[in-house]
Structure 1
């Protein structure tokens, strides 16, 4: 399975001038929802990602919104419960809907795309009070420059190096190109 080819075929790889959830700008945006809207790709990505983890978790957890479909598919591959975090009225990520994690349970955090790891770190902070054992982090696309977040390894189906820019140094802004914010973060 060629993950990049599937992403391109489903129009998940966008070109233009984008404001990322991190606040950075980029000329490329990966909209995994375009590929995940096809059940056969969602299932295949979930199975393949689950195979990258050496240990079975007790839970798979994802941040809403982008990580929900792939997180569910990874959990389904492991046949374990899937839960997700979402933002409260103050914009802080937390477990809601009466989701809980028993102390010491093994957890894998799954995202669709990791750029800076900001959402993943928010999930980690949201579940700390439950004292889980976070095994690892997984994603479809790792576009960060790192292979770890808070000493946790990032397992990904594909690593893509895409330029990102601070808003003050963005060559796309200097060209006067309109910016688009396709992500779910407000």
Structure 2
């Protein structure tokens, strides 16, 4: 898929929002990608996952044993990536604020994992999820995301592939530009503010 085709998928799903948003990192942004909206159409989710899987280096695709994603945002795209790659897919949850496998999910010792997220902004959730996989006996050999919003700054400690990179400005809550200060902030994500 081309960049324009990918953006068209987001626009068609009304997933690219404009306003004043509180990101999971606590930073603020004038734009927000609501990946849940773009993934609610199973055919669209499958198309995006297939395009993302095709972006992975062949050597990485061949080495993957299982796909793991952090709940909530990564669950759908993680499942679709599992389908696209022909691998099992499971997810991590954090009912107590720390990621864990639940619902009978478990990794075999040494399992080579592809971590899959919807959006990476600071990489905090990804790093926490990667650590949970390590603690569960797996090895994260790469990460894939629909969108890289980190402006190239997210260091995940593993190879990272994104379907599209979007450079959207982010601001500390005490350093907002006047146009954002004038708009009420909303928190559209699934994680409490930092």
TM tier relative to shorter chain? over 0.9
Match of 1:165, SS?
coil
Q: What is the match of residue 76 of structure 1?
A: 83
Aligned to 1:86: 93
Aligned residues: 185
For residues 51 and 137 of structure 2, the distance between their equivalents in structure 1, rounded to whole angstroms, comes to: 28
Offset at 1:148?
A: 5.5
SS of the residue aligned with 1:27? Answer: strand
> Which one has a larger percent strand, Structure 1 or Structure 2?
1
Q: Distance in 2 between matches of 1:49 and 1:67?
A: 14
Q: Which runs of 5+ in 1 are unaligned?
A: none
Partner of 2:120 in structure 1?
114
Task: Give the structure-2-normalised TM-score.
Answer: 0.90
Structure 2 residue aligned with 1:38, among 34, 41, 61? 41
Query: Which runs of structure 1 show a deviation greater than 6 angstroms over 4 or more consecutive aligned residues?
Result: none
Within-5 A mapping of 1:17-166 = 17-53=20-56, 54=58, 55=60, 56=62, 57-88=64-95, 90-146=96-152, 149-166=155-172
Q: CA RMSD in A?
A: 1.6
- 1:75, 1:26 → 2: CA distance? 31
Please state how far the C-alpha of 1:185 moved relative to its aligned partner.
Answer: 0.8
Alpha-carbon shift at residue 172 of structure 1 (Å): 5.0
Does structure 2 retain, via aligned residues, the 8 Å contact 1:17–1:172?
A: no
TM superposition shift of 1:93: 1.4
